[in-house]
Amino acid sequence: MLTEIEDRLVKILQEKVKEIPKDNIVLNTEPAKLPAVAISNLGFEFESLGLAENVDEGRIKLDERFSSDGVQTSYKLKEKPLQGSVQVECPPGNSLAEKKDFAVKYSEGSIDFSTAPPKGKKRIFVKYLSHKSAVTVKGLKLKATYSIDVWGTGRVEVDSIAEGVVKALLMVEDDLAAEGVELRPVGGETLPEQGGEKTERVQLKYVFERDLRVKKLVPPIEKIEITKKNI
């Protein structure tokens, strides 16, 4: 979840910020050598995207082929066919008649032959119509905040590297968007020296947003019954 964002961020900076050795770009730890860039996760949150439904009850045409062993008489279809839409050829080109040569169990999606088809590979050819399934999509938006700390021994050096980081991330905004990750700068600051060390540090803050979605297939409505209520 966060690992993909972090690995991508490290790789971008290693490739595009040439002023810093690749090994000096570190994740969730303080750098051992200067100049350096330290990336830290400051926290994350989720935002509900609600419930979006894409319901498509259109018809789709399906073709299936079955091999026969000369004994089997029942064959299961991948989808449930619409009433009266099943066409069977055995061998291909020789049409069979429903109710005479075969029967269809529409509620189960299966075909039963009155006698076993002759043995042969891909000998049974079935064409039929079925409903497209409805798709229900649930989603969350992940919002992760990161600090990108630029460390150096002088203000000029730090400012130059920080500018390089900002430009690098600006260059890849469209590429990240194509991968489903939105990048947004939210601020920055110059941090004071720590422990008397002669180091300069600038902190940049970015928010990375990514949608997490789950799809669930909903079978089509096969039968609607309306009953009259006695008053």
CA angle in degrees (0–180, nearest 5) for 221-222-228: 90
**Which contiguous run of DSSP H or E holds residue 156?**
helix 155-171
Question: Phi, psi at residue 97, to the nearest 5°?
Answer: -105, 130
- In order of start, what are the domains of the chain with their CATH numbers? 3-52+142-218 (3.30.70.1700), 59-131 (2.60.40)
Q: What is the pLDDT of residue 167?
A: 95
8 A C-beta contact, residue 59 and residue 131: yes
Residues in the chain, pLDDT under 50: 55
* 3-class secondary structure per residue, 82-139: CCCCCEEECCCCCECCECCCEEEECCCCEEEECCCCCCEEEEEEEEEEEECCEEEEEE
Q: Tell me: the pLDDT tens digits for 173-210?
A: 999 988 888 999 999 998 876 655 678 899 999 999 99
Q: What is the pLDDT of residue 229?
A: 60
Task: Give the other-Cβ count within 10 Å of 139's Cβ.
Answer: 15
Q: Is the peptide bond before 91 cis (omega within 30 degrees of 0)?
A: yes
Ramachandran sector of residue 229 (left: φ over 0; alpha: ψ -120 to 50; beta: rest): beta
| Calculated CA dihedral for residues 68, 71, 74, 77, nearest 10 degrees | -20
Strands 25-27 and 36-54, sheet pairing = parallel
Question: Phi, psi at residue 54, to the nearest 5°?
Answer: -115, 95
Cα 156 to its chain centre, rounded Å, is 43
Question: Phi, psi at residue 124, to the nearest 5°?
Answer: -100, 125
At 208, list the tokens: 């990375």
- In the three-class reduction of DSSP (H, G, I as helix; E, B as strand; rest coil), residue 226 is classed as coil
Q: What is the pLDDT of residue 130?
A: 87
Q: What is the pLDDT of residue 216?
A: 63
d(CA 203, CA 159): 11
